[in-house]
A and B are shown apart, each in its own frame.
Chain A
């Protein structure tokens, strides 16, 4: 009988220990998600007793979740809106951890058809519905599949601010609306005629970033050189939002996120380190 009780205890104890583990919950921008997941893994190698969960949902979700106390860290890849700012007020810190460029992304076939760069004006006209065929910008005779993003997504805010002049501008030329970077990339790479906006880290062979011709005639792309020099116009800070009142465990992790140790992970994910 005693043996059984002891056996039971030995079975329960390890579980009990894992429940007592300090946990850091993180949610928000799907742009920062892959970087944060890597950072969490790296940090757990240093501090194995701490459990970190990372999930997506978009910048809007991240900001709201941290305000409502659902998560410890909210990830945001855009500036908070006025209403969000009012709620964040004095009680939260916004900490930049990296920089990112939003690439105007097109299907592989579009580039192969001869469209090698677009001007900011052309991209705006495509999203306003004034240009709707690739032949109008030097490509093949195919209609443009214009993909817009859910309005709260950080990528969309940055894109719309630079291209359409206002982070909340309408895009009447859009054909469909997608959510995460992942969803949008799969639509672009499946299509032959799509244009969309992706965080630079999500580009691949079938969803390629297209170079932009600036008003001064210079052509720039979402490459590290052009982003860091500031000449690539659609760029932003990737930041985290945390309550000012925070535990030591949380503070230690945040210091890790700001340390140079994060730089290789940031580069690996296609973003640009600040330190």
Chain B
């Protein structure tokens, strides 16, 4: 009996916490949207001292960083999952999982420091950049950080594919690539899809590592596909400015608006990840 009420309490408490967070962000950013409307979302200039709060550069920066990270981490993570679940014998599974868990366990500030010490000088020298700080650096760093999420969840998705499908595919005489592309991946797709969505959410929220390598400058890349330019993400903006904004000021509520945009997009991604997709 007490177990049931405990579970019920926990569920209600977590729901209440989510509502509380969103409610707080809404109320804290309300003055901002009241004063400036929704136009700051597509405005380009962010100068708190001049009461200019354009979100566009940070939104574009965040989008680019996550696109770079996903386009690297998704193929690599998926391949790792396929190799470790379908190809390697059972006794190597532990080793691979340990490696992935170590990757997942490294604190993000350590990734940031590694980025500064190794990645930035490497980019600077090899691509002849003014400084290594760039969207590319942040994207590369982030791809390593979301790799474990994608790999682990894709492994689970592949493991959940019923053995009868594998046996049926084999008895039909399908070769390995046919089995992979027409049976295994389609069957595991819902899991892989939520893996990528969760990883996207994790990546969007990543702050300190991105902040250390992205350059933190509010500028839209010129031209728009110039990934070697320094830029700003929503998280690096919040990370850099939260400490200096006095509570209740317009800068503070503008930062809260950033936080709200970020939270809503991550919540949306989590919801999408929940919904079972039909195959």
Residues of A participating in the B interface, judged by any CB pair closer than 8 Å: 57-58, 60-61, 64, 67-68, 83-84, 87, 143, 145, 148, 150-152, 168, 170, 174-179, 183, 186-187, 190-191, 193-194
B contact residues around A168 at 8 Å (CB): 49-50
A-B CB pair tally, cutoff 8 Å: 63
Q: In the complex, what distance in Å separates the CA atom of A194 from the CA atom of B132? A: 12
A-B contacts, 21 of them at CB < 8 A, read: A58-B243, A58-B244, A61-B243, A64-B243, A64-B244, A64-B247, A67-B246, A84-B246, A87-B246, A150-B241, A151-B47, A151-B244, A168-B49, A174-B217, A175-B131, A175-B215, A176-B133, A176-B215, A177-B217, A179-B240, A193-B130
Question: Which residue of chain A is the closest to B52 with respect to CB atoms?
Answer: A170
Question: What is the minimal beta-carbon distance from B217 to any residue of chain A, in angstroms?
Answer: 5
With A83-B249, A175-B215 as contacts: A150 and B240 at CB distance below 8 Å? yes
B contact residues around A60 at 8 Å (CB): 243-244
Consensus secondary structure, chain A interface: mixed
Q: In the complex, what distance in Å separates the CA atom of A104 from the CA atom of B116? A: 23
Whether B216 is near chain A, meaning CB under 8 Å from some CB there, is yes
B contact residues around A179 at 8 Å (CB): 240
Whether B40 is near chain A, meaning CB under 8 Å from some CB there, is no
- Which B residues between 22 and 56 are near A, CB-CB below 8 angstroms? 47-50
Pairwise interchain contact B130-A175, C-beta atoms closer than 8 A: yes
Q: In the complex, what distance in Å separates the CA atom of A148 from the CA atom of B232? A: 14
A contact residues around B120 at 8 Å (CB): 190
Whether B230 is near chain A, meaning CB under 8 Å from some CB there, is yes
Q: In the complex, what distance in Å separates the CA atom of A60 from the CA atom of B47? A: 16
B contact residues around A194 at 8 Å (CB): 131
Residues of B participating in the A interface, judged by any CB pair closer than 8 Å: 47-50, 116, 120-121, 124, 130-131, 133, 212, 215-217, 230, 240-241, 243-247, 249
Pairwise interchain contact B216-A176, C-beta atoms closer than 8 A: yes
Pairwise interchain contact A177-B244, C-beta atoms closer than 8 A: no
Pairwise interchain contact B243-A177, C-beta atoms closer than 8 A: no
A contact residues around B50 at 8 Å (CB): 168
Q: Which of B121, B124, B131 has the most CB of A within 10 A?
A: B131
A contact residues around B121 at 8 Å (CB): 190
Pairwise interchain contact A175-B230, C-beta atoms closer than 8 A: yes
A contact residues around B216 at 8 Å (CB): 150, 176-178
Question: What is the minimal beta-carbon distance from B218 to any residue of chain A, in angstroms?
Answer: 8
A contact residues around B243 at 8 Å (CB): 57-58, 60-61, 64
Question: What is the minimal beta-carbon distance from A235 to any residue of chain B, in angstroms?
Answer: 22
Question: Which residue of chain A is the closest to B247 with respect to CB atoms?
Answer: A68
Question: What is the minimal beta-carbon distance from B157 to any residue of chain A, in angstroms?
Answer: 40
B contact residues around A84 at 8 Å (CB): 246
A contact residues around B249 at 8 Å (CB): 83
Pairwise interchain contact A150-B131, C-beta atoms closer than 8 A: no
Q: Point out the residue from A67, A152, A176, A190 that lies within 8 Å of B230, measured CB to CB.
A: A176
Q: In the complex, what distance in Å separates the CA atom of A68 from the CA atom of B243? A: 12
With A175-B230, A176-B215 as contacts: A187 and B131 at CB distance below 8 Å? yes
Q: In the complex, what distance in Å separates the CA atom of A67 from the CA atom of B245? A: 12
Q: In the complex, what distance in Å separates the CA atom of A178 from the CA atom of B120? A: 15
Q: In the complex, what distance in Å separates the CA atom of A43 from the CA atom of B50? A: 42
Q: In the complex, what distance in Å separates the CA atom of A83 from the CA atom of B240? A: 20
Pairwise interchain contact A176-B217, C-beta atoms closer than 8 A: yes
A contact residues around B130 at 8 Å (CB): 143, 145, 175, 193
With A177-B215, A190-B121 as contacts: A151 and B48 at CB distance below 8 Å? yes
Question: What is the minimal beta-carbon distance from A178 to any residue of chain B, in angstroms?
Answer: 8
Q: In the complex, what distance in Å separates the CA atom of A64 from the CA atom of B216? A: 23
Q: 16 more A-B contacts (CB under 8 A) besides A87-B246, A151-B49?
A: A60-B244, A61-B244, A83-B249, A145-B130, A150-B216, A150-B244, A151-B48, A170-B47, A175-B131, A175-B133, A175-B215, A176-B230, A177-B215, A178-B216, A191-B131, A194-B131
Question: Which residue of chain A is the closest to B211 with respect to CB atoms?
Answer: A179
Q: In the complex, what distance in Å separates the CA atom of A178 from the CA atom of B212? A: 9
Question: What is the minimal beta-carbon distance from B88 to any residue of chain A, in angstroms?
Answer: 41
Q: In the complex, what distance in Å separates the CA atom of A83 from the CA atom of B250? A: 12
Question: What is the minimal beta-carbon distance from B235 to any residue of chain A, in angstroms?
Answer: 14
Q: In the complex, what distance in Å separates the CA atom of A183 from the CA atom of B48? A: 22
Q: In the complex, what distance in Å separates the CA atom of A145 from the CA atom of B241? A: 23
Question: Which residue of chain B is the closest to A167 with respect to CB atoms?
Answer: B49
Q: In the complex, what distance in Å separates the CA atom of A193 from the CA atom of B230? A: 16
Question: What is the minimal beta-carbon distance from B124 to any residue of chain A, in angstroms?
Answer: 8
